[in-house]
Amino acid sequence: MSLVLAAPALPLHSAGKYVAGAYIVFVALILIYVAIMARRLNRTERDLAELRREVEATQAHEDPDRDLTGAAR
Amino acid sequence: MSTYGRGLRGLSLATIATISLALALVFFYAPLDADQGFIQKIFYIHVPLAIVSLCGFIFGGVLAVGHLRTDDRRWDMRSYVAIHMALIFGVGALITGSIWAKASWGHWWVWNEPTLVSFLIVVLLFATYQPLRFAIEDPMLQARYASVFAVVAGAFVPLNFIAVRLAQQYVHPRVLTLTGGNLPGSMRLTFLISLLGITLLYVTLWKYEMAAKNARMQVRRLRRTLLGDDAAPAYGRSAAPS
């Protein structure tokens, strides 16, 4: 805490809001990008799960006697 | 794990550590500027963003040369992601620069300042890259035209930079030169660490994006292999390489 208070450049004057604004823009850009990446990752995971279901369904259709629980493992 | 995912964890940790160190140096170590005071702290985020953005555009052009030489679509993907990331960093540089201009000069934008306007021109030029790709439906043609654009526009970046440097009339400060500039030691160290942090951030995000796109393409390829070509859903026209 004392280290923070001792900082020579705390935004305690009029310039502070501009400096804070610039750094917030930087952090916001990264956060927005990470959020977009997380959404894309979810979509890829969904696609993978869907693909797995479709492959299992195709295999079950081609060979109904096949043990799918073992194949899925 | 794909080639792009390799070493990503270490790189991410290095990026976080370097940016944290840079922020600590900016606010606890670097002295206040005698002329601008606290406002000058924006310099440590604005200038690295602008430099990395411009280098990213050139990097995209270099990768596009790889595509034109080999006709391998992976080079087009690399070039696309490099330009995409550089554009995001460029927008960051424009916004932070605009905030600095308002605080320092009293205006959000100064149209008769060559450095500002030339950077805006470069960003706007590369902003047309995505619509150009989107306008071309054939993936092969899209990749080729986009690569030609990336090479030409990438070559424009250093030319533009040199032209602005040679301009005599400017108000934008010149603190970085080939002879070391006029930054005192502590400020220079802080700036260099900030530049390293932003460069690492660019490389990390580029690798993340490449790993994500690569994974998505592999899922599509797997679907085609396992279920046949007809099973692949129609994704429609896209600016991104497919």
* Identity of the residue in B96, B215, B223 whose CB atom sits nearest the CB atom of A22: B96
Chain A residue closest in CA terms to B202: A30
Question: What's the CA gap between B227 and A59, in Å, rounded?
Answer: 10
Q: List CB contacts (< 8 A) between B45 and chain A.
A: 22-23, 26
* Identity of the residue in B31, B99, B215 whose CB atom sits nearest the CB atom of A8: B31
**Residue ranges of E strands in chain B:** none
State the nearest Cα–Cα gap between B98 and chain A, in angstroms: 9
- The pLDDT of residue B232: 58
Which residue, among B219, B72, B223, B60, has the nearest Cα to B152 in the 3D structure? B60
Question: What's the CA gap between B81 and B125, in Å, rounded?
Answer: 16
- The pLDDT of residue B37: 84
- 10 Å CB burial of residue B204 (0-12, 13-18, 19+) is buried
Question: What's the CA gap between B35 and B21, in Å, rounded?
Answer: 25
Using 50, 70 and 90 to split pLDDT, how confident is the model at A72? very low
**Contact between B99 and A21 (Cβ < 8 Å):** yes
Question: What's the CA gap between A73 and A67, in Å, rounded?
Answer: 11
Question: What's the CA gap between B3 and A50, in Å, rounded?
Answer: 25
- The pLDDT of residue A73: 43
Task: Please state, as a whole number, how many other Cβ atoms lie within 10 Å of the Cβ of residue B226.
Answer: 14
Q: What is this structure's pTM?
A: 0.84
- 10 Å CB burial of residue A8 (0-12, 13-18, 19+) is exposed
Question: What's the CA gap between A53 and A50, in Å, rounded?
Answer: 5
Question: What's the CA gap between B80 and B75, in Å, rounded?
Answer: 8
User: A17 Cβ partners below 8 Å, 6+ apart?
Assistant: A11
- The pLDDT of residue A47: 87
User: String of b and e for A26-59 (b: at least 16 CB within 10 Å)?
Assistant: beebeeebeeeeeeeeeebeebbeebeeebeeee
Query: In this complex, do B46 and A37 lie within 8 Å of one another by their Cβ atoms?
Result: no
Q: List CB contacts (< 8 A) between B84 and chain A.
A: none
Task: Give the pLDDT confidence of A25-66 residue by residue, as tens digits.
Answer: 999 999 999 899 889 888 888 888 888 888 888 878 777 665
Q: What is the mean pLDDT of residues B60-87?
A: 94
Token pair in block for residue B154:
């990438």
Reduce the DSSP state of residue B33 to 3 states and report it: strand
* Identity of the residue in B38, B45, B49 whose CB atom sits nearest the CB atom of A11: B38
Query: In this complex, do A15 and B223 lie within 8 Å of one another by their Cβ atoms?
Result: no
**Contact between B233 and B226 (Cβ < 8 Å):** no
- The pLDDT of residue B186: 87
Q: List CB contacts (< 8 A) between B100 and chain A.
A: 18, 22
Chain A residue closest in CA terms to B208: A37
- The pLDDT of residue B156: 92
pLDDT at B165 over 80: no
- 10 Å CB burial of residue B122 (0-12, 13-18, 19+) is buried
* Least confident span in A48-52, B77-81, B126-130: A48-52
Q: Does A20 touch chain B (CB under 8 A)?
A: no
Chain B residue closest in CA terms to A20: B42
Question: What's the CA gap between B159 and A63, in Å, rounded?
Answer: 65
pLDDT at B107 over 70: yes
* Identity of the residue in A16, A43, A51 whose CB atom sits nearest the CB atom of B223: A51
Between the alpha carbon of residue B196 and those of residues A18, A50, B48, B103, B226, the distances in Å are: 24, 41, 8, 26, 44
Chain A residue closest in CA terms to B227: A55
Query: In this complex, do A25 and B38 lie within 8 Å of one another by their Cβ atoms?
Result: no
Task: Give the pLDDT confidence of A15-36 residue by residue, as tens digits.
Answer: 888 999 999 999 999 999 989 9
Using 50, 70 and 90 to split pLDDT, how confident is the model at A2? low
Q: What is the DSSP letter of B169?
A: -
Mutant choice from A18, A42, A50, A59 vs B, greatest count of B C-beta within 10 A: A18
pLDDT at B55 over 90: yes
Using 50, 70 and 90 to split pLDDT, how confident is the model at B153? very high
Using 50, 70 and 90 to split pLDDT, how confident is the model at B69? very high
Chain B residue closest in CA terms to A8: B28
pLDDT at B181 over 80: no
pLDDT > 90 fraction of chain B, expressed in percent and rounded: 57
pLDDT at B231 over 80: no
